A and B are shown apart, each in its own frame.
Chain A
Amino acid sequence: MIRLSKVSKYYKAGFPIHDFSYTFENNKKYVISGPSGCGKTTLLRLIAGLDSLDAGEIYRGETLIGKVDYQLHPSKRSIGMVFQKPTLWPHMTVRENIEFGSKVSEVNEIASTLKIHDILDKYPDEISGGESKRVALARMMVLKWRYLLLDEPLTNIDSELKSEIVSFIHRYVEKNNTTLIYVTHHEKEASMIEGKRILF
């Protein structure tokens, strides 16, 4: 489980989180929704260890992974995250992007599931926004994660593909016993995930 205890994060010009406490249980799905700018992404970044805390503590199981002046490195948290923007490395092909963290090549399988098999040898600047989002999902989901954070992963993706990707996410979560924290501000998308709702 991931436990947040009185977590706070303030920005000069950003979306603050104040005194937030919550426990994300293992093998469960959570959908965080709320209007733009309410701090959903900030929360995910704090859990992933990408931003430092201004107050409070974060635990993974019984292990303290973050507090003020202490941050367990993102690579040591067993937490994967797909960002709102795909952040594909521009100097690597799609295949190289997906293979970066994986030794066993399951690239072809995931590529055909996410319908990106024909762009594997292209570079990020040669593919569309929707394809970039799917590559970003593939890059993270080719690995097995104990905890997976998805930040608006279906933006820019065709509505026909959305349901296929959502069912892929469900299969992935069940197969790997993953705790899923899914952020979206689309009501329809939130209802597709069938997870516990957290309103921000």
Chain B
Amino acid sequence: MRKKRNHFLLLVPYLTVSILPLVLFFAKGIQSLINSETVKTMQLMDQRVIVLLLKTIFYSFSVAFLVLVAGTFIGIGLMSMHKAYRKFFMGLLILLIPLPITIHSLIWMNIFSRFQWMPLTGWGISVLVQTVAWLPLGTLIIYDAMTKIPKGLIEVGQLFSNDLKVFFKIWLPQSKTGMKIVTLGVFLMTFNDYSVPSTFAVTTFPMEIFASYSISLNAGDAMITSLPMVFLGFGLALPLMNSIKKQFFSGPSTRDDTFIQEIALLNKYLSKITMLIILLIIVLPLIALFQNTRFSSFSLMNDGGYEILATLWICFGGGLLALPIMILAALFIVHHNNRHSFILLLILLPTLISPALIGAALIHLMNRPIFREIYLSHLMGMLAVMIRFMPFGVLVIVAGLKRIPEDYMAVGYMTVKNYKKPLTRILLPLAIPSIVIATGMVFLLGIGELGTSVMVLPPGISTITVRIFGYLHYGATELIAEVSIVVIAIIFIIEFVLYILIRKGFKSLRIGGRYDSSK
């Protein structure tokens, strides 16, 4: 009798690339801690570190809360817009998602520097930059949740109450999954990031890991330092995972974003205010950035041309190498129908811990003679991009696969006697848009990768984000404004190409397909 196959092999490439370095690093850390004085005397954290930890938690919570409030407001505003405007403004928000956080830092540094009374360092500007950086993604996730509510729930409510009450009593509470994802996700991302705080002379907890490993290269020290972050990450992972499953892995869904347009009070003002906010967070900073450049001095090759090419190569390589690994991991998750929460937790692990820790783990694994060629090459950057952003790509592909009605494959399996044809002729063609988005996402997010790259890139190799980060510590100069404009242009062009590919190219080739529930 043939037992159900586990298909565990599908997961091996992902675990090898993303999880193995971390496991080995932690194993080494535990080994070096066994006889360590730190453990013997149980002095794991001193008072300074505890205060720093609490400060960082408060800082991250502030950012998460602001993104939640602003994202919900803009999400409602998007729903209240006319369809054509909504498409346009959502497009603008999508454009902003992959913008490197260093460029956000530069932009706001630029704006603040025009006003003498505005502080260029400190918690305030740091919270603002993080909030603006996460706002586009946060808004779109909340909007997604708000438009996925079954129409029936609203219609039943309308039998009893007026539209405004239905909105606040049914619609908003029903969107809480998306709000939970945004709050927990932004909290974790902010908590793990050290690049923005360090730019604005703010010390946060992840910098301790960066500092402790950079100084001693001791896995034990870095591990001990990172423990509170790891515990916090894992503690929040379960509710985050459940919310992600609920919102994105729940199969085909219908959307309804028309209801709010029937609420006159909201419809009258909200859409205009939202348009204004989106334009403010996009147009104003871009104008400020352009004003700070003189294109006559634009000597790209000298000012960062090499780094731009290196960045594109690293991100292209990272995206391409990640592609098969992400597809296999996504197939595993879909095949097991989300039953293994532990596996999903493993896949999300790199997003739950600090990029500095990933950097330390990669160095620990690769800094040995057998991997010398890799350690001194662009591959280190590619690995950093892959480890950090593959989890997002896997989630996107899983969501894409989940949208394909199960019966499509069931019919395929009935009519042919092998696995290959339904997989290659039905599942993969229908999943191509999500696969392309996932790969594009790894590529685009890779451009802004900093936390790990700054540690793992060998001497002589740098990405443009690392270079901008380095320059930022000397203030918002004209030079980095010019380079940043080029990076923004590259990101926008790639996003435009992806859009054309998905909306026009695939549609004409009928790849992807729309799922009509009546057919």
| Residues of A bordering B, CB below 8 Å | 48, 50, 64, 69-76, 79-81, 83, 85-92, 100-102, 123-125, 127, 129, 132, 139-140, 143
Q: Answer whether residue B412 sits at the interface, using C-beta atoms and an 8 A cutoff.
A: yes
Q: Which partner residue on chain A sits nearest B421 by CB separation?
A: A100
Query: Is the contact region of chain A dominated by helix, strand, or loop, or is it mixed?
Result: loop
Q: Are B415 and A90 interface neighbours, CB within 8 A?
A: no
Interface centre among B405, B406, B413, B429 (most CB of A within 10 A): B413
Q: Smallest distance from the beta carbon of A11 to chain B beta carbons, Å?
A: 14
- A contact residues around B4 at 8 Å (CB): 69-71
Q: Are A74 and B413 interface neighbours, CB within 8 A?
A: yes
Given contacts A50-B407, A85-B519, A124-B516, 11 further A-B contacts (CB under 8 A): A48-B414, A72-B2, A73-B413, A80-B414, A80-B415, A81-B410, A83-B407, A85-B407, A88-B519, A91-B429, A139-B411
Docked pose: A85 CA to B407 CA in angstroms: 9
Q: Which partner residue on chain A sits nearest B513 by CB separation?
A: A90
Docked pose: A79 CA to B335 CA in angstroms: 22
Docked pose: A101 CA to B409 CA in angstroms: 12
Interface centre among A64, A87, A89, A143 (most CB of B within 10 A): A89
Q: Which partner residue on chain A sits nearest B518 by CB separation?
A: A129
- Given A101-B415, A132-B519, A140-B415, does the pair A70, B3 have CB atoms closer than 8 Å? yes
Q: Answer whether residue B114 sits at the interface, using C-beta atoms and an 8 A cutoff.
A: no
- B contact residues around A73 at 8 Å (CB): 413
Q: Are B425 and A100 interface neighbours, CB within 8 A?
A: yes
Docked pose: A70 CA to B1 CA in angstroms: 9
Q: Are A86 and B425 interface neighbours, CB within 8 A?
A: no
Interface centre among B1, B2, B516, B519 (most CB of A within 10 A): B519
Q: Answer whether residue B159 sits at the interface, using C-beta atoms and an 8 A cutoff.
A: no
Number of interface residues of B (CB under 8 A): 33
Q: Are B407 and A91 interface neighbours, CB within 8 A?
A: no
Q: Answer whether residue B416 sits at the interface, using C-beta atoms and an 8 A cutoff.
A: yes
Contact of B410 among A48, A64, A72, A92 (CB under 8 A): A48
- B contact residues around A81 at 8 Å (CB): 410-411, 414
B 484-519 binary contact with A (CB < 8 Å = 1; else 0): 000000000000000000000000001111111111
- Given A87-B408, A87-B411, A124-B516, does the pair A75, B416 have CB atoms closer than 8 Å? yes
- B contact residues around A79 at 8 Å (CB): 414
Docked pose: A27 CA to B180 CA in angstroms: 56
Q: Smallest distance from the beta carbon of A84 to chain B beta carbons, Å?
A: 9
Q: Smallest distance from the beta carbon of A85 to chain B beta carbons, Å?
A: 7
- B contact residues around A127 at 8 Å (CB): 519
Q: Smallest distance from the beta carbon of A116 to chain B beta carbons, Å?
A: 13
Q: Are A50 and B516 interface neighbours, CB within 8 A?
A: no
- A contact residues around B3 at 8 Å (CB): 69-70
Q: Which partner residue on chain B sits nearest A87 by CB separation?
A: B407
Q: Smallest distance from the beta carbon of A136 to chain B beta carbons, Å?
A: 8
